[in-house]
Amino acid sequence: MDQMTALEKLLTDHKAGLVRFVYFTIATLATFLVLFHLYVGVFGPPPGYVFKTVHLGAAQILVFLVFPLRREWKQKQIDKFFALDMICAFITAFITIYILIYYETWHLKIAHLSTLDFVLGCCLILLVWEGTRRTIGLPMVIVSMFFFLDAVYTDKFFGIFYGPPHSWEYVITVLFVEEAGIFGIPIAVMAAYVVLFLIFASLLLNTGAGRFFTQLAFGMFGHRTGGPAKAAVVSSALMGTLSGSAIGNVVTTGSFTIPLMKRMRYSPEFAGGVEATASTGGQFMPPVMGAVAFIMAEFLGVPYVKVAIAAAIPAILYFSAIFAVVHLRAIKMEVRTVPKQYLPDTKKILLKYGYLAFPLILIIVVLALGYSIIFVAMAAIVSTFLLSFVRRATRLNPLRLMTAMETSIRNAIPLTMTCACAGIIIGSVFITGLSWRLSYIIIDISMGHLWIVLLFTMVLSIILGMGLTTSAVYITLVAIIIPVLVEMGVTPMGAHLFSLYYGILSCITPPVALAAYAAAGVAKSDPMKTGFEATRIGLVGFFVPFLFVYGPELLMIGKPLAIVVAFATGLLGCVSMAAALEGWLSRKAIWFERLMLFAAAIFLLKAGMYSDIIGIALFGSVFLLQRRVTFHLMLQKATEVDRPKARTMLRNVISTFSAGHPQMKLEKDRIHSDNQGDDSDLLQFLQDDSLGEGRQTSLEEEGIWRDYVAWGVLSLVIPVFFVFGKYNFHILYLRLWLACLLIASVVIISTFWLLFLRTRS
């Protein structure tokens, strides 16, 4: 499948009946999952095992349709690969229906598996591996297979993986029947929370919020020193917290920010590194934090808001360090800024489209008031839908709404397969007891020293995170690494965030720095150099987890005054670290000044009164030394010229001393002439504040009556929902309820097909 949704292809492609059937099936199943999860969000879930089975079954069928084997749907369909896809989809559907038929007595199968149960369990595991391979690649599958084989043939393994063997029947029972395997916590969280937030994010982005965030960031920072890079950091943080994908964020916001950074004389490697580092940081930037925060809250057994609060200060420190690096690099290189006349008007953008930020504010407020995460997600979805009608540019018509819904489900498919595959890992580790053996071995090697354990877990987290998505690496770490930290006395919140940070930072850690490599593709730079540049820019991120383990004040645990002091000194430490990396503070820093700045950063980032005093003293010494030298050099220059020039020079000295800039004038009146004209489309994008207002797709051009009919059909869902919810159909008449949702999905897609069908010219 390409970037078009199945519904769009269904309405525009004039293909053979088989291809249309595939598109129709994809659109119908996606609509079914959306209706299913919206209903559950309002009226509550059906019995737990059924809830997870329906979600996984529908998503897994979509895997084999949305990600066909070794071809695209536009090519020949009747071949051996098509047959394999259909067989996989049919077996998945059969397993799902089989569980739904026997769900009332499903728990009794723990005592004994029938031959059919055993075969279906083996088939489901194989299908999960194949679905995971198609969606996120082989690394996760290989890891899962290793732990599965270790659970069955423990006596054939070595070292910490050695132990008593387990029967195939017992392993399949744990992974297939019990809720400690495939249908464990990861799938439960995915079905309960994550899908709703993916629907919200897709709705918000389809209203034009992505473009609004980008233009707002450039309007606020584009004319400042290092403006394009700072705008990239802000827009990537805003987009990353919604999308939950560092790579996806790089290729969307990076397509605008990276060319503009290169135009402002940043090197391609630096431009790609900034975008990759900022996009990676979006994964742990509250309030949404992608998908992983909801899973973490479930594993910790705490409200989601506590996870978001704990992650706030480390995320701010991370992005503050990136800001400081970008700012100092711009000063050092005399990077020109973008003149204001080429940038969006911030006030105009806020007045015109500021309401698009309201759902994000609503999430924070409702979470702070203590409402459940499901209520928060539904409130965000409803508010986004209603607010889209404020202006024509952001208005959701039926086609945009349906394509947004399908997009959210397409985004949920890889995460669902990740959670299912991670369930195999967790269940296998539960069977073998590997996490406890690993804990004892690492603690024994470290001789009780926490810092050695932290180094071990840091390296393991980065290695396990290479090539995996954020959710996949976190769930893997929950099973293997995090129990080690908890055993050493680290607070549960600190242990989970510690491992999560390093798992995410693997996206910018060579040799498998996927976010950096994606940015290198956009920047047309060397991938490995871009990876190392991203690592250098995000270096503070590699220190922060150690700091909040030893100083929980950075996780907002402790007295308010201690938290404020830790935050303030942490910010100063970020500036000091950036100055040490760039070799520039008020002027070029010589080698011993850089050493002093680096030492100051370490002391400042570490919580504690004495370390803060030493860090402030070191930073202040370098600051005063550089200012003193700068002042004397410019004063000497001033005395060598006539008196009027001396006055001007002294004024420049005072301005430099107060502003903190070196004695260089940044040109702010024009854009750099290099490659001028090549990026006219980017400048037009920045100046265009309409968010695409008035533009219509080919499917929207003819007649508004179709929209009215489509809205009428969609609105019928609401009274049906309330009737089903009032009489608890999802509990009393479960199979009938699911059948009605499926029929409603068929009716909706059929209506759109009849109303909007076009033949592509």
- Tell me what pLDDT residue 690 has: 60
Single-letter amino acid, residue 638: A
Helix axes 705-715, 717-726, angle to 10 degrees: 0
Interval 140-194: pLDDT, tens: 888 889 989 999 998 888 877 888 888 899 999 999 988 888 998 788 878 887 7
Token pair 């690099």 in the structure block, residue: 329
Interval 385-410: pLDDT, tens: 999 898 888 888 888 899 999 988 99
- Tell me what pLDDT residue 673 has: 36
- The pTM (predicted TM-score) of the whole model is 0.75
Interval 28-64: pLDDT, tens: 999 999 999 999 999 988 887 889 999 999 999 999 9
DSSP string, 609-663: HHHHHHHHHHHHHHHHHHHHHHHHHHHHHHHTS-HHHHHHHHHHHHHHHHHT--S
- Tell me what pLDDT residue 7 has: 80
Helices then strands, each counted (H, E), the chain: 36, 0
Provide the pLDDT confidence category of residue 644 given band limits of 50, 70 and 90: low
- Tell me what pLDDT residue 116 has: 93
Residue 121 pLDDT greater than 90, yes or no = yes
Q: What is the mean pLDDT of residues 487-496?
A: 86
606: helix, strand or coil:
coil
Closest Cα to residue 149, out of 134, 130, 162? Answer: 162
State the DSSP H helix or E strand holding residue 263, giving kind and residue range, or none if neither.
helix 246-263
DSSP string, 19-32: HHHHHHHHHHHHHH
Interval 257-277: pLDDT, tens: 787 777 767 788 888 888 888
Mean pLDDT computed over every residue of the chain:
79
Interval 655-708: pLDDT, tens: 433 333 333 333 333 333 333 344 555 556 565 656 654 444 444 444 577 888
Token pair 């992608």 in the structure block, residue: 290
Whether 295 and 471 have beta carbons less than 8 Å apart is answered as yes
- Tell me what pLDDT residue 674 has: 38
Please name the residue ranges forming H helices in 5-72: 6-12, 17-43, 48-66
Q: How far is CA 329 from CA 237, 260, 344, 425, 662, in A?
A: 20, 16, 24, 44, 12
State the DSSP H helix or E strand holding residue 533, giving kind and residue range, or none if neither.
helix 527-537
Residue 467 pLDDT greater than 80, yes or no = no
Closest Cα to residue 60, out of 469, 421, 409, 417? Answer: 417
CA trace torsion 32, 35, 39, 41 (10° rounding): 100
Closest Cα to residue 18, out of 87, 74, 80? Answer: 74
Lowest mean pLDDT among 203-212, 622-631, 704-713: 622-631
584: helix, strand or coil:
strand
- Tell me what pLDDT residue 667 has: 32
- Percent of the chain at pLDDT above 70? 82
Dist CA 134 CA 129 (whole Å): 9
Provide the pLDDT confidence category of residue 513 given band limits of 50, 70 and 90: confident
Enumerate residues 6+ apart whose C-beta is below 8 A from 647.
none
CA angle 610, 616, 620 (to 5 degrees): 150
Q: What is the mean pLDDT of residues 224-250?
A: 70
588: helix, strand or coil:
strand
Single-letter amino acid, residue 558: G
Provide the pLDDT confidence category of residue 650 given band limits of 50, 70 and 90: very low
Single-letter amino acid, residue 524: K
- Tell me what pLDDT residue 74 has: 55
CA angle 48, 51, 54 (to 5 degrees): 145
Interval 297-351: pLDDT, tens: 878 888 878 888 888 888 888 888 888 888 888 787 776 666 777 777 788 888 8
Token pair recorded at residue 724:
């089903």
Between residues 743 and 256, the one the model is more confident about:
743
Residue 588, strand partner residues: 584
- Tell me what pLDDT residue 687 has: 59
